[in-house]
């Protein structure tokens, strides 16, 4: 693989148009979806030279999951639209990379089957389940129990979706139903009926407290963009948040995640683990996010591109590619250890006072 851009072109050429548009599309005019990508281009790395070798590694303990490097798979729906093996291929690939997969509530494969496939490849693999808290709290509670019994390591709660975003590509393509034979496998109720995923427009911090009372799993809030919400998450004793604008698929016109990351890192002040997604397409993008305060990054669409092009091997190649590029970028920046990965790596034309590192 030369680049994720090349991989994306291959994947889009292979997928039916409606499915390609579903995966790549954003909401409304797709301003935020495009800004996520473009914002990284506006950040410049500021290298040092003659610094010797990078000592150490990039592994991370993420809420009890041991990752070889700080890159994980963001939750994305409907993997069987990209490849017949769907989430099973994705889970096996990520397990082989000793990374972590956040399984979407809208996966085409049940969480029990996904965890079984991942742990068969690598018992140390990380699997978290992403959920929308359903208006039917009993159903939500049952799904949490399924995640616990499946040995999921974390629960990711999407909090930026009181209603569904306006996705114009899907409207034009009349894409509102899955092809025959595909379902949201995690939405099967005790009667064997597959439910639709509902959004709770009244969701608030009391519901997060309810969730804490109903599971011992670590809870990660996904969809945080404002520093005040970081402070509230800390007050509610949460261990981690994911800085995310839903890939530009919910509210259009919100900031790119990398632009708000420094403000949220300042608000967090090391008291809560920060994950970030949105627009990461290279190892240098990963390094920029880490330098600005992220503990780890999550990738969504690139996983789908790898899956569409070459199944399990394609997803594995995406992670290996980003890991290799990240190590190269760290060394080219003159970082000698992990402590050197800080905001001093980022050149800001309006403030040319260098923050020293090393």
For 84-120, how does the pLDDT look when each residue is reduced to its tens digit (9 = 90+)? 999 999 999 999 999 999 999 999 999 999 999 999 9
pTM of the model: 0.96
- Evaluate whether residue 99 is within a structural domain: yes
**Predicted confidence (pLDDT) at residue 358 exceeds the cutoff of 70:** no
Res 54: pLDDT: 93
Residues of the binding site: 22, 75-77, 104, 130, 132, 158, 167, 222, 244, 246, 249, 277-281, 300-301
Does the residue 352 lie in any domain?
no
pLDDT range class, residue 1, cuts 50, 70, 90: confident
For residues 219 and 155, the answer to whether their CB atoms sit within 8 Å is yes
Among this protein's residues, is 323 annotated catalytic?
A: no
Quote the mean pLDDT of the chain: 96
Does residue 356 register a pLDDT over 70? no
In a domain, 358, yes or no: no
Rounded distance between C-alpha atoms, residue 244 and residue 261, angstroms? 10
User: What is the reported pLDDT for 226?
Assistant: 99
HSE-CB for 210 with a 13 A CA cutoff: 14
Q: CA-CA distance, 91 to 85, in Å (whole number)?
A: 10
3 state SS of 250: coil
User: What pLDDT, on a 0 to 100 scale, did the predictor assign at position 191?
Assistant: 87
Q: At CA 144, angle to CA 75 and CA 300, rounded to 5?
A: 0
Catalytic residue among 79, 83, 246, 259: 246
> What integer is the mean pLDDT of 139-143?
98
Helix, strand, coil percent content, the chain, rounded in steps of 5: 45, 15, 45
Q: Tokens in use for 147?
A: 């995640």
Please report whether residue 251 resides in a domain. yes
- In the predicted structure, residue 188 carries a pLDDT above the cut 80: yes
Host domain of residue 195: 4-347
Question: Given a cut of 70, is residue 353 above it in pLDDT?
Answer: no
Q: At 296, phi and psi to the nearest 5?
A: -160, 165
User: Hey, is 110 helix, strand or coil?
Assistant: coil
Q: Residues of the chain with pLDDT > 70: what percent?
A: 97
| Digit-coded pLDDT (tens) for 17-48 | 999 999 999 999 999 999 999 999 999 999 99
Q: What would the mean pLDDT of 163-182 be, rounded to a whole number? A: 96
Binding residue ranges for glyoxylate: 22, 132, 167, 246, 249
Residue 331 lies in a domain: yes
| Both structure tokens of 180 | 């025959």
How far, in Å, CA of 183 to CA of 68, rounded?
A: 33
Q: What is the CATH number of the domain that holds 49?
A: 3.20.20.70
Q: How far apart are the first and last CA of the chain?
A: 33
Q: What share of the chain has pLDDT > 90, as a percent? A: 95
Residue 281 · residue 302 · CB < 8 Å: yes
- Is 252 inside any structural domain? yes
The pLDDT of residue 357 is above 80: no
- Does the residue 353 lie in any domain? no
Most distant CA pair in the chain, distance? 66
Q: Would residue 64 count as lying in a domain?
A: yes
Total tally of structural domains belonging to the chain: 1
């Amino acid at each position: 693989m030369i680049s994720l851009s090349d991989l994306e072109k291959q994947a889009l050429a292979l997928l039916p148009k409606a499915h390609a548009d579903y995966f790549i599309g954003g909401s409304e005019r797709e301003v935020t979806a495009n800004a996520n990508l473009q914002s990284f281009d506006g950040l410049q790395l500021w290298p040092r030279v003659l610094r010797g070798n990078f000592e150490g590694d990039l592994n991370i303990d993420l809420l009890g999951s041991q990752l070889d490097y700080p890159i994980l798979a963001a939750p994305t729906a409907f993997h069987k639209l990209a490849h017949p093996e769907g989430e099973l291929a994705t889970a096996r690939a990520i397990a082989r990379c000793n990374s972590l997969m956040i399984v979407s509530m809208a996966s085409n494969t049940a969480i029990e089957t996904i965890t079984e496939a991942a742990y068969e490849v690598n018992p140390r693999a990380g699997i978290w389940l992403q959920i929308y808290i359903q208006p039917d709290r009993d159903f939500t509670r049952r799904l949490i129990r399924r995640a616990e019994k499946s040995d999921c390591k974390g629960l990711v709660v999407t909090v930026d979706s009181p209603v569904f975003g306006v996705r114009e590509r899907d409207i034009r393509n009349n894409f509102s139903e899955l092809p025959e034979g595909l379902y949201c496998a995690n939405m099967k109720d005790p009667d064997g009926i597959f439910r639709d995923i509902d959004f709770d427009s009244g969701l608030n911090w009391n519901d997060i407290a309810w969730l804490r009372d109903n599971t011992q799993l670590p809870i990660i809030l996904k969809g945080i963009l404002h520093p005040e919400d970081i402070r509230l998450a800390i007050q509610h004793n949460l261990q981690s948040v994911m800085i995310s604008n839903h890939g530009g698929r919910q509210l259009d016109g919100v900031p790119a995640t990398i632009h708000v990351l420094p403000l949220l890192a300042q608000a967090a002040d090391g008291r809560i683990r920060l994950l970030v997604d949105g627009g990461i397409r290279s190892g240098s993008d990963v390094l920029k996010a880490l330098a600005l305060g992220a503990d780890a990054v999550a990738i969504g669409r690139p996983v789908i591109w790898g899956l569409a092009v070459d199944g399990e091997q394609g997803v594995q190649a995406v992670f290996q590619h980003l890991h290799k590029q990240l190590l190269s970028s760290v060394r080219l920046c003159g970082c000698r250890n992990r402590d050197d990965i800080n905001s001093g790596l980022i050149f800001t034309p309006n403030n040319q006072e260098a923050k020293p590192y090393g």
